[in-house]
Structure 1
């Protein structure tokens, strides 16, 4: 077969190049009845013509098989229809041509505004459908029993939003899926299903032998997860977030041979986290966050693993990070925030060079940051808030040139900021509050021109503010309070025209306020009290100071301003 195919491709290439014969492979010309049905569908739908990118371009003068969102087979029959994100509103007319497209295999109406209409029962006419996506389309109410007659479905997505919700009561889940033996992907997120663990698990396992993707988040399901779910050995994705499972994590979840995503966040899980979950070599995403009674420690991670996302935040997991965390070489997101982890960060964390997101906040980590942190050159987000980290920041932090968010507040870091901080030119959020940093700000801070939020409060910084502070023209929030800064404010402060929040209280600033401060017309909060400023206040009368912020006249130490 491969030889025949290669020969055919050679013939096409040879004919095109040698004989100059143009050869274009296209779908068949649209049959007239199919075009009529599509135009009838268009005319029956209400949609915003300024936001539409497909329907608005359908017209009788062109072949419907060339229309955007339409796929045809070689006979010119419509087999695919994608009208997602077309700003369709209202309902679907029972007489519309949609339900006469008998050859349709794929229908996507996702992300529209069907104004709380019910799913039309006449979809059952489309018996050749293998793909049906009505997610976030605004449909509400009971899912019609007629959907269960679409026995060729491979993918069904009826996920909805919190504001427009579907429900499965009559029929229930068991009745809906009883004929879906070919189904491989089932998405019913936020559909109100209810039911105990043995009911919904057995409904799925008895009817969906080929299921690979199961997504039932926010479905009002209760637990525990029944062992019958283990019969679905083809499952690669399990998402059951925000259901009241109220049980330990089942050991059998580690027995799915192809599992890539396991997401059980906000499920009321408790007890000890089984270590064998981490030994599933195919697992790429594990999210057990916000299970406040889930405890245990991290095991030694095996070398043959595929983890890319590990989210265990807001649990009672404890202990140190094992050196073997360095085996998670594919990891791009690590979120262990608000747990009970202790001890220093292992040097091996520097092996995780694919990391983009790290949150270790609200734990009990200790010791200095290892210099190997500088190897995480893909890192964009680093949050270490409220730990017991100590020591100076390693100069290697300057290697994190893609970092956009750095939050180190409420730790015990010491020493001056390294000059290498100036290399973090993508930084937008810098929070170093409540540490023991000392010394003047490095001149290289002026290179961080993308900064929008800076909080250096409650440290021991000294010296005057740099003229280069005026380079930070994107700043919206600046808090330098409770330090030992000295000298006058540089005139370049007037360049910070995006500034909305300015707090310099409890320092040793002195001298007159530069007239350029009057350029800060976006200010909503200003506190310059408890300094040694003198002279006149620049023209701030047009600055809008509104609740809940203090009135402007209370924000200055007037005793120091009258001379």
Structure 2
């Protein structure tokens, strides 16, 4: 509705009232509700309606009724002078308009305040008619003009619901401010922790006389730091999962570390890299039952530097723990003498920043799978797990060890196929996987390893080497040792003539591969060859005379084939003066032993049994001062054994190859005279002629 200003009356106490003919108050009740009517009653006293002379609203009442209404009006109590007093807001309360019951004509004295005013923090103060309180934001209402409809507009009071809404908005505002403040504090704290984690910690003191004192650790953090050990270590997820088991090696290692830091007499913490180094070694100790090691003196001694936890325990074994000058672990070597018993923990990977050598060879009680986390040891140059009971498949993560130069898993229990990722190890020089139950085929990706010098897959009966055999000889030109013996070929094949390209070969094993065909003459190009093992195949033909060029040959194993000819009469074998071991037994060889045998002064083991060798033994055999074993059983040899050979031939030994090495094995029930016409020594005397 439209509002106009009304002129205030004089001090007679009469006020203008709203009038809406004879049903004014019923309209108010219908429009405003009972509560508003009650508040209006308090303001206008006896509630006698009156009409304004100039009201534009038509009067539907009769004149008589109007006279009766006017005559019934009683004088109103004297009101306070207009605009003499106003309610002033007390600063402790929030600004706004408040409905105060009881403020009306009966309250004129400024010191008398109803309870509602005290509760709302209001007080009555003198004011003028047109005063506007700019200081407190309370504006005095000016008189209004006569309303057009005869109704005086009134301000609606602030209800309880409005108060609740206002309080709720205030609460939401304060909550939002609190959340923003907490977010800012959290961001600042995280930034601080990140800065602490990535700070450049100083390296530890240099070794003096082989010992690094535990107290001398530059870059240490004061023990009063608020950052916990757990936060500083920032252990990987696989460790945290293992620590869910309170009896795990990881849990024991963490408890050991935490307990010693808490109770240490040192005034400084160790730097982060040393904390992780000690945690990794402690985990390894608990994971392999360090309390049962043959040599564990000094281990887990908190006041002793971990670089001195293990001393040399033999003249040939190196330290189990070896650190560089900076105090970081460089080598961890445990040979068979230390009896590791347990599994290889993945926490070894925490040594990734420094570890270069990791050797567990000969520990037959070391079992379980190789953890995939070894792929994090990117500084590793030598890794040996030979003669252990580690099992499972080789992880593809091995292909991440780009610095690896030696990988030895011979004699272990690994199975499955070889990962093609081995072809990524560009610096690999030694790869030995003899006597392992790996299957499938040798990945051709290994042919990319141009620096490879030693490659061994001997005694792998499930491994098909045929495709690799036909390709390797033409690619790996730097090979010095190639062992493919006792493998699976899936069919007969012959020695490729490209073998002559491997001119750096020193050691070659092609034994028991079902090879057929002949020995190629290109074999004579391998002038650096020291050992040639072609035994237990189906090779035929004769020995090429080019073999005589292998002047550095010390071992020649041709036994158990179908080779023919007269090798001891030809100009082939007698010229190999560096030979120490010659096995040509179990072949189709024939002929006699020529006197040129005396030129082979280095020979130690000569096995000629199960051949067609015939004739008498030349006395030049006595020139062979190094001869320790001579086997002539099942030959056509005859005559007396020269004096001086009896002690040699009665105690023959056979050389056996196993795990990449040769071993002398004594033979039994092998009489030198058995199956021959020889006599002398312990044999029956030769018959008299």
Superposed pair shares fold, TM > 0.5? yes
* Deviations, residues 270-325 of structure 1 (Å, cap 9, x unaligned): 0111132134110001001100x211212334356211110011000111012332
Unaligned runs of 5+ in 2: 1-206, 218-269, 311-318, 655-665
Instruction: Specify the alignment match of 1:261 in structure 2.
Output: 507
Aligned equivalent of 1:410: none
The match for 1:58 among 299, 308, 311 is 299
Matched residue of 1:302: which SS?
Answer: helix
SS at match of 1:88: coil
Indicate the residue corresponding to 2:579 in structure 1. 331
Structure 2 counterparts to residues 43-442 of structure 1, below 5 A? 43-46=286-289, 49=292, 52-55=293-296, 58-60=299-301, 62-66=304-308, 67=310, 68-85=319-336, 86-94=338-346, 96=347, 99-114=350-365, 116-161=367-412, 164-168=413-417, 172-174=418-420, 176-195=421-440, 200=442, 202-205=444-447, 207-219=448-460, 220-224=463-467, 225-227=469-471, 229-245=473-489, 246-291=492-537, 293-300=538-545, 301-303=547-549, 305-321=551-567, 322-397=570-645, 404-405=651-652, 431=671, 432-436=673-677
Give the whole-Å Cα distance in 1 for the aligned partners of 2:501 and 2:471: 11
Cα separation, 1, equivalents of 2:573 and 2:495: 22
Provide the rounded CA distance (Å) in 2 between the counterparts of 1:327 and 1:25. Answer: 55
- Between the two proteins, the alignment pairs up a number of residues equal to 392
* Structure 2 residue corresponding to 1:42, chosen from 268, 280, 285: 285
Q: 1:430 to 1:187 in 2, by over 3 A?
A: closer
User: Deviation string for 1:240-293 (max 9, x for gaps)?
Assistant: 0112332101111121121001101110100111132134110001001100x2
Counterpart of 1:167 in 2: which secondary structure?
strand
Query: CA distance change for structure 1 residues 201 and 233 in 2, over 3 Å: closer, same or farther?
Result: farther
2: distance between equivalents of 1:438 and 1:280?
41
The 1:256–1:438 alpha-carbon spacing in structure 2 relative to 1, beyond 3 Å, is closer
Measured after TM superposition, the shift of residue 433 of structure 1 is 3.7
Report if the CA contact (8 A) 1:160-1:166 is conserved: no
Partner residue in 2 for 1:521:
none
Instruction: Give CA-to-partner distance per residue, 1:111-155, whole Å, 9 cap, x none.
Output: 223564111111122111011111221111111111211111101
**SS in structure 1 at match of 2:389:** coil
CA contact (8 A) 2:598 2:621 kept: yes
Structure (1 or 2) with the greater strand fraction: 1
**SS where residue 318 of structure 1 aligns?**
coil
Q: Secondary structure at the match of 2:397?
A: helix
Task: Give RMSD over aligned pairs.
Answer: 3.2
CA distance change for structure 1 residues 90 and 299 in 2, over 3 Å: closer, same or farther? same
Q: Contact between 2:524 and 2:549, CA under 8 Å: does it hold in 1?
A: no
TM-score between both structures, scaled by the size of structure 1? 0.63
Secondary structure at the counterpart of residue 579 of structure 2: coil
What is the distance in 2 between the residues matched to 1:317 and 1:328? 18
Question: What's the CA shift for 1:84?
Answer: 2.2
* Distance in structure 2 (CA, Å) of the matches to 1:160 and 1:395: 44
In the superposition, relative to structure 1, how do residues 394 and 57 fare at CA in structure 2: closer, same or farther (>3 Å)?
farther
Question: Once the two structures are superposed, what CA deviation does each residue of 1:152-199 show, in whole Å capped at 9, x if it has no partner?
Answer: 1101112234xx33222xxx432x313201111111223444445xxx
Q: Distance in 2 between matches of 1:57 and 1:275?
A: 60
Instruction: Tell me the alpha carbon deviations over residues 319-342 of structure 1, each in whole angstroms, 9 at most, x when there is no partner.
Output: 101233222121111111111100
Pair 375,63 (structure 1): closer, same or farther in 2 beyond 3 Å: farther
Shift in Å, 1:370 = 1.3
What is the CA–CA distance in structure 1 between the aligned matches of 2:480 and 2:430, rounded to whole Å? 10
Contact 1:48–1:87 under 8 Å retained in 2: no
Report deviation, 1:368.
0.9
Structure 1 pair 230–195 and aligned structure 2 pair: CA distance change class (3 A): farther
- Quick one: structure 1 residues 56 and 216, their matched pair in 2 at CA, closer, same or farther if it must change by over 3 Å? farther
Alpha-carbon distance between aligned partners in 2 of 1:427 and 1:267, rounded to the nearest angstrom:
25
Inter-CA distance 280–84: structure 2 relative to 1 (3 Å threshold): same
Tell me, in whole angstroms, the C-alpha distance in 2 between the residues paired with 1:115 and 1:238. Answer: 28
How far 1:58 moved relative to its partner? 3.1
Q: 1:181 to 1:308 in 2, by over 3 A?
A: same
Asked if the contact 2:532–2:556 (Cα under 8 Å) also holds between the matched residues in 1, the reply is: yes
Identify unmatched segments of 5+ residues in structure 1: 1-22, 408-425, 442-454, 463-563
**How far apart, CA to CA, are the structure 2 residues paired with 1:216 and 1:48?**
36
Q: Secondary structure at the match of 1:140?
A: strand
What is the Cα deviation at residue 101 of structure 1?
Answer: 5.0
Partners of 1:373 and 1:396 within 8 A in 2: no
Quick one: distance in 2 between partners of 1:29 and 1:331? 55
1:321-380: per-residue Cα shift (whole Å, max 9, x none)? 123322212111111111110000122222222222111110000111111111222122
**Residues in 2 aligned to 1:330 and 1:429: alpha-carbon distance in whole angstroms:** 30
